[in-house]
Amino acid sequence: MELSAIRPRGVAGLALVDRSPAGVLLHDHILFWQPPEIGVRAGQSCHTAARIAARRWWGLPDAQVARTVGTPWVRTPAAADPGRVERRLLLVMLPPGTPRPPAGPGTAWWPLARLLAGEAATRPAELPAFLDGYLQGVLPDGRQALEW
């Protein structure tokens, strides 16, 4: 098998976002907080995997996944690193009027204002600004480069 034929692993971080008040459910990794991650199967889109996980984890039967997607700003060619991981950051929007799912072990709801104030390190580092830009309507749909 040629190295270029090896497909990268897909991983998607799912940021469950509540618009009012602005907050996000994050997982504690001791040194930083980040959205919980899921694996994406070969042939499966990140958005499909996100909807399945949102239904299973948070009981959201018809999860709304934003079309604004965070991607790493640096990408290595497949031939150079056949085991690389393709990462995506997806925003799963909590429907208006839906109560926030309880935070489970190792997770917490973080108010966006506290993240923007730098009260916690996040991965990716630009997560608070990315969320704020999306909620303020200044980020266009499509891929946005983030430093992972």
Instruction: Give me the DSSP letters along 35-72.
Output: --EEEE-TT--HHHHHHHHHHHHH--TT-EEEEEEEEE
How far apart (Å, rounded) are the C-alpha atoms in residues 12 and 82?
18
Place of tokens 């694996």: 39
pLDDT for 86 equals: 84
pLDDT for 41 equals: 87
Give mean pLDDT in consecutive 10-residue pieces for the chain, a chain of 148 residues. Answer: 51 94 95 94 90 95 91 63 78 94 94 98 95 94 86
Number of helical H runs and strand E runs in the chain: 3, 8
Report which residue type is found at 141: D
pLDDT for 93 equals: 96
What predicted TM-score, i.e. pTM, was given to this entire model? 0.85
Angle at 35 between CA 34 and CA 41, to 5 degrees: 125
pLDDT for 75 equals: 56
pLDDT for 43 equals: 85
Give the domains, in start order, of the chain with CATH numbers. 3-97+108-146 (3.90.79.10)
pLDDT for 62 equals: 87
101 by DSSP, 3-state: which? coil
pLDDT for 77 equals: 56
